[in-house]
Every structure is written in C-alpha cells, then in structure tokens.
Amino acid sequence: KVLNKYFPPDFDPAIPRRKQAKDAQHKVRLMTPYAMRCETCGEYIYKGKKFNARKETVEGETYLSIKIFRFYIKCPRCSAEITFKTDPRNTDYIAEHGASRNFEPWREERIAGEESKLQKELEEENNPMKALENRTIDSKREMDILDALDEIRTRNARNERVDSDALLDKMLESDQNDEKSEKEKEEEEDEKLARSIFNTVDGDKIKRVIGEEPE
C-alpha cells in the first residue's frame, strides 16, 4: 500500500485530470500468434512476425469475466488492415477480418476431440444407461492398459536377467579361452625351445664331438 505520493511543484489540483475514453486504442508491439494469408493480396504472414499494432478492448464480449482484446495490424505488402481477437476459452486467437488462418491439423484434431467429448457428456446427461456403458468401457480400457504395462515390466525384467546371465557366461568363457590360449602358447614355446636345443636346422640330431685331451 502506498502511503506517500509525489506531487510535482507545478501540480494544480484545480485542473481536472484528463479522462481517456473506454474504447481508446493503444499502440503495442506484438508477434502474429498464428500463420495467416492476406485476403486482399494473398501475402502469407508467418507465425511470429513482428508488427506495430493497435489494441482495444472488445465491448460486450467477455468469457468468465475475462476481457477480450482486439488487435489491428497491416499487411506488409498491401497495407490492408487485418484484425484478430483473443479467445480465452480455448487459449487461442480468432481471425476476424482481412486475413484467413492457415490450416493447422493439430488444431483441427483438438477441436474435434473437444466436440466429441462435449457430445459424450450431453449423451450421458440425457441417457443414464449410456453413461453406465461409457464408464464400463473406460474401466475395461484402463484395466487393459494396466495389464499391458505389467506385461512390459515383466518382459523387461526377464530380459535384464537373461542379459546378465549371458554376460556372466560370456565373461567366463572368455577367461577360459584366454587361459587355454596362454597354456597352448607356453607349450608351443617349450616345444620350440627343446627342438632348437636337440635338433639342427635340417632336423638332424646334434652329436657331441669329443676332442683329444691335451698332453
């Protein structure tokens, strides 16, 4: 809470404050919230392009006491006026005049899903048996999803156990192969050493020559 307020030296309380009109427009800087196409010249305006715009409050239109705002921009090619306004119900924007919104498949899917959900709720309100049937279907679907998740967890745990056992077997087999190859290598070296001692290059046995004893 403000306790003190600043009053400039030239402040004159006898002069009434200027009142702004309720429908006054304000200059704002914004980026286009969606991709659009100008209806006058056919220019495509991509989403996120910056514009100097005018903003005003839409009179007589609210959603749950939330104000709706209208924005005015100009086409960068032909300077035709384009207007769009906020849509707090769907947290989106509505193309109003001067440009058409480009097709967005994800937006159409969301709208179709909301319409089907609303239709389902209306059917359940008017038909209790339909509501019971829908609850049964939802419960069955939920049980199927839980069973599928349990099966995936079980399969993953089994695969992890199998992988661990296979890794241990592979390590043991590798150690045994290393020991076997090391032993074969030592035996081969011993055999080569014995052959070099007792045999000549041609494979003849080495004979010991006894020299004459000195007188």
**205 falls within a domain:** no
**What pLDDT is attached to residue 211?**
53
How many domains is the chain partitioned into structurally?
2
Residues 88 and 143 reside in one and the same domain: no
Q: What is the pLDDT along the chain (215 residues), one digit of tens a residue?
A: 567 888 889 988 898 887 766 667 899 999 999 999 999 999 999 999 999 999 999 988 999 999 999 999 999 999 999 999 999 988 899 999 999 999 887 777 877 777 888 887 887 778 888 778 878 888 898 999 999 999 898 888 877 776 666 777 777 887 777 777 787 888 888 777 777 776 654 555 555 555 555 55
Residue 133 is assigned to a structural domain of this protein: yes
Same structural domain for residues 118 and 83? Answer: no
Residue 157 lies in a domain: yes
**Residue pair 37/100 in contact by the 8 Å Cβ criterion:** yes
Q: Looking at the domain assignment, is residue 35 inside a domain?
A: yes
Co-location of 52 and 82 in the same domain: yes
**Reported pTM:** 0.50
Q: What is the pLDDT of residue 120?
A: 79
What per-residue confidence (pLDDT) applies to 106?
77
Backbone angles phi, psi at 17, to 5 degrees: -75, 145
- Are residues 40 and 65 located together in one domain of the fold? yes
Candidates 116, 126, 125, 71; CA nearest to 93 is: 71
Full DSSP string of 146-186: HHHHHHHHHHHHHHHHHHHHHHHHHHHHHHHHHHHHHHHHH
- The residue from 75, 102, 129 where one domain ends is 102
The pLDDT, as a whole number, for residue 191 is 79
Is residue 183 included in any domain, yes or no? no
Domain match, 36 and 78 both: yes
| Structure-token pair, residue 138 | 């939802």
Q: Is 79 part of a structural domain of the chain?
A: yes
Joined tokens for residue 20 = 């702004």
- Distance (Å, whole) CA 158 – CA 2: 68
Whether 151 maps to a domain, the answer reads yes
In a domain, 37, yes or no: yes
What pLDDT sits at residue 41? Answer: 93
Same domain, 80 and 146: no
Domain-terminating residue out of 153, 170, 187? 170
pLDDT at 54: 95
pLDDT of residue 174: 78
112 and 69, same structural domain?
no
How far is C-alpha 25 from the geometric centre of its chain's CA atoms? 39
Candidates 93, 98, 50, 37; CA nearest to 69 is 93
Report how far residue 39's alpha carbon sits from residue 194's, in angstroms, rounded to the nearest whole number.
99
- 71 with 56, same domain: the answer is yes
The parent domain of residue 144 ranges over 103-170
pLDDT of residue 48: 94
- Give Cα separations from 190 to 177, 193, 195 (angstroms): 20, 5, 9
Within this chain, do residues 94 and 112 fall inside the same structural domain, yes or no? no
